[in-house]
Amino acid sequence: MDGSQMLTWGLMVIQIPAIAILLFRLLKGPFRHAPIQPQSAALEMLGTVSVVVPTLNERDRLWPCLEGLTRQSYEVREVLVVDSHSTDGTGDLVLQTAAKDPRFRLLHDDPLPPDWVGRPWALHTGFLHSSPKSEWILGIDADTQPHPGLVAGLIKMAEAEGYDLVSLSPRFILEYPGECWLQPALLMTLVYRFGPTGTVESADRVMANGQCFLTRRRVLEELEGYTTAKSSFCDDVTLARIAAQRGFKVGFWDGAPVLKVRMYEGAWQTWQEWGRSLDLKDATSPWQLWTDLWFLFSVQGLPLAVIIFGIIGAFPEGIISQTLVNLNLALLAIRFALGFAIFPSYDLSQARFSLLFWFSPLADPLAFFRILQSSFQTSIQWRGRTYSALRGNGQKGNG
C-alpha cells in the first residue's frame, strides 16, 4: 500500500465515525423545542423577574437594549445595569432611561478580582444587588434587542415545563459582506457539535447563550451566584452545565422571534471577539475538547480539501477513493442545505451583499481553524482587558 492509498484509508477512518455522529445529531432537528413566542404577562407574574445587564463602554449599541427592556411588562421588577466603570458615557445613557422608567438602576461593580473574568463578575454583582422578592434572574447582554413580550413568553414557557435555567439563541443582525460570509460558518461549529437549538443533550454537553440567560434565584443561590464560572470566558455554558450536573432542568431554545442581536462590526471583529470563546474549553474537559476538534476537522475542515484533491486526481483510482470523495460531496451538500435551516436565525435586511450568506460553507475550513487556534490560546484580550492566562477549567471543583 503506497502513501496515497494510506492517506485515502486514513481519511475514511477519520471521517466515517464523525459523519455518523453528525447525522445522529441533525436527525434530532424535527423534534426540537418550539421557538419562544412573545406573550402578555399574567397577573401572577407581577414583579417576578430581576434583569441584569453587564456593560463596559457600550454607549454606541446599548440604546436598543434599554429601549427593548422598557417595553417589557410588569413581570420585570427591576433592571440592574452593572457598569464596569465605562469611560464613554454608558452610565449617562442608563440614567436617562432611569429618569423615565424607575425600574432601571445603575450600579458600578467593584475592581475586578484577579481570579475573575469581567462579565461573570458584573453579573455576580447584579445578582447580589437584586431584590430577594424576584423569583427569576434574567441576564441580558448590552448588544441585544429584546422584543415586547420576550420576558413574559420566556417565563411562561419555563414555568409551564418546569425548567430552572433557560437561555435563548437570538436572531443575528448582519451588515457587512465579510461577516455575512464568515459568521454563519462559525455558528455552524456549534450546530455541528451540539445539534440544532432546542434539542436535548447530556448534562456535560448542554449549550447556553448568555445574551439571554434566565435562571431561578434558588439555582444561583445554590451555586453561590456566578462564582462557579468566575474564571470562564464562556461563563454561560459553564454555569448551565454545572446546573445540569446538579440536577436542575436546563434548556436552550430558539429565541429568534423575540430577540435580535448585533454582535460585532465586520468579519475581523467577528473572528477576533466571537472566536475567542467558541471553543468552549473553559466548560469542557480536555478529552471532550480533543474529540470536538477531531469531529469539526472531519465534517467542516476536510470536505472542501478532499473534494478539490479528488478533482485534481490526487487520490488513487478505485472505489475507496470515489467513496471518500462522494462522502465529502454529501457533507458539502448537507452544509449548503443547513443554510436554509439557519436562515431564520438571521436578519439580513441591512446587509450589504447578503448573497455571501449562501456561500458561507466555503468559510468552514476557516471556522475550524479559528476553533483550533482558540483552543490553544492562553492570552486573551477582551473588552479592553488583557487576561494573561486562563485560570483553569471553569468546571473544576464544582461537581
Burial 173-207 (b: 16+ CB within 10 A, else e): bbbbbbbbbbbbbbbbbbbbbbbbbbbebeeebbb
Per-domain residue ranges of the chain: 3-29+285-381, 33-184+194-279
Q: Determine the average pLDDT of the residues in 261-269.
A: 93
Give the three-class secondary structure for 294.
Answer: helix
Give the three-class secondary structure for 273.
Answer: helix
Query: Per residue in 222-235, pLDDT tens?
Result: 999 999 999 999 99
**277: pLDDT strictly greater than 90:** no
Q: In terms of pLDDT, which residue wins out, 4 or 380?
A: 4
**54: pLDDT strictly greater than 60:** yes
Q: Cα separations (Å) of 294 from 6, 9, 13, 217?
A: 19, 16, 12, 38
Query: Per residue in 177-209, pLDDT tens?
Result: 999 999 999 999 999 999 999 998 789 999 999
What's residue 3's pLDDT? 78
Q: Tell me the three cell numbers of residue 8.
A: 485515502
Between strands 165-169 and 144-146, the pairing is unpaired
| Banded model confidence at residue 379, pLDDT cuts 50, 70, 90 | low
Q: Is the pTM of this model over 0.85?
A: yes
| Banded model confidence at residue 387, pLDDT cuts 50, 70, 90 | low
Which fold is adopted by the domain 33-184+194-279?
A: Spore Coat Polysaccharide Biosynthesis Protein SpsA; Chain A (3.90.550)
**391: pLDDT strictly greater than 50:** no
Give the three-class secondary structure for 166.
Answer: strand
